[in-house]
Amino acid sequence: MASIPFHLSHNAEAAGFRLAAFDTFNGSTNTEALDRARAGDCGSLWIVTDNQLGGRGRRNRAWIAPKGNLAASLLIVTDVSTSTAATLGFVAGVALERAIVRVSPYLRHRISLKWPNDILADGAKLSGILLESEPLDERRRAVVVGIGVNVVAAPEGLPYPGASLVSLGANVSASELFAALADEWIAAAAIWDEGRGMGALRDLWLERATGLNGPISVQTPSGVIGGIFETIDDMGRLIMQRADGTTEVVSAGDVHFGGLATRK
């Protein structure tokens, strides 16, 4: 571990958060967080680097990024239910969107939230959020919120458009963004309130959501379904109106909007 300029604010430290910062991390910060939970870590721990060499995205897809991008994983040890813990991804989305706007206010109208776990800039992927969890005992569960942000560059060879803060004209470092993120996490998590405030957090998420009231298609384990993106419910599930007027509730899947959705 090296002494690098990642830091927590006094507010974050006072709230009980801790920090493990690495100059280079050979594996995945999410894996490291889960390993620490299994070894008895009590949580409220951020594991952070700007040079992650073995990152993972959803469905174990590789997440390869150049030095200077942000990789941050927050370990939470909680006794909330599995379904409630799953809504922490929306806490992360709200906190990260606010952190980006905080360090680069002019980006406010170019940044949006994509269901279930991405941040977009002008429709291109700027950040991904990966939630992983496992039980520690009969009562407690380890939840890891992994956040990757393209600060200096988007990974190459993606099957979708990518963006970085630098490409958007933002002069900000991974450490500056992380400091804002750690603070905004506290505010968003307070609204969430162990799941009791998910309704209020949902409203904040919807204010910044992309694709609402437009055509959408979702690749689910059982196939592609399409319709109009109406809202999300208090469990974070996507609510879609099908062409026949029926309502579809989607818990997970890869989403396409607009013209791409209508061609599915």
The per-residue DSSP string of 22-64 comes to ES-BSS-HHHHHHHHHHTT--S-EEEEES-BSSEE-GGG-EE-
Contacts of 65-68 with CB under 8 Å at 24 or more apart are 65/148, 65/150, 65/153, 65/155, 66/152, 66/153, 66/155, 67/24, 67/152, 68/151, 68/152, 68/153, 68/173, 68/174
pLDDT of residue 262: 43
Q: Name the 3-class secondary structure at 264.
A: coil
For the record, the structure tokens of 217 come out as 């298609």
Q: Do 34 and 6 form a contact (C-beta atoms < 8 A)?
A: no
CA atoms of 51 and 152, how far apart (whole Å) = 11
- Output the pLDDT for position 229: 97
Report pLDDT for 158: 73
pTM (two decimals): 0.92
pLDDT value, residue 45? 98
Ranges of residues in the chain with a pLDDT under 50 are 1-3, 259-264
Position of tokens 């150049």? Answer: 66
pLDDT digits (tens, 9 = 90+) for 168-209: 999 999 999 999 999 999 999 999 999 999 999 999 999 999
Please list, in sequence order, all residues whose beta carbon lies within 8 angstroms of the beta carbon of residue 90, skipping any fewer than 6 positions away.
116, 192, 198, 201, 202, 205, 232, 236
Q: Domains (ranges, CATH) in the chain?
A: 10-207 (3.30.930.10), 215-262 (2.30.30.100)
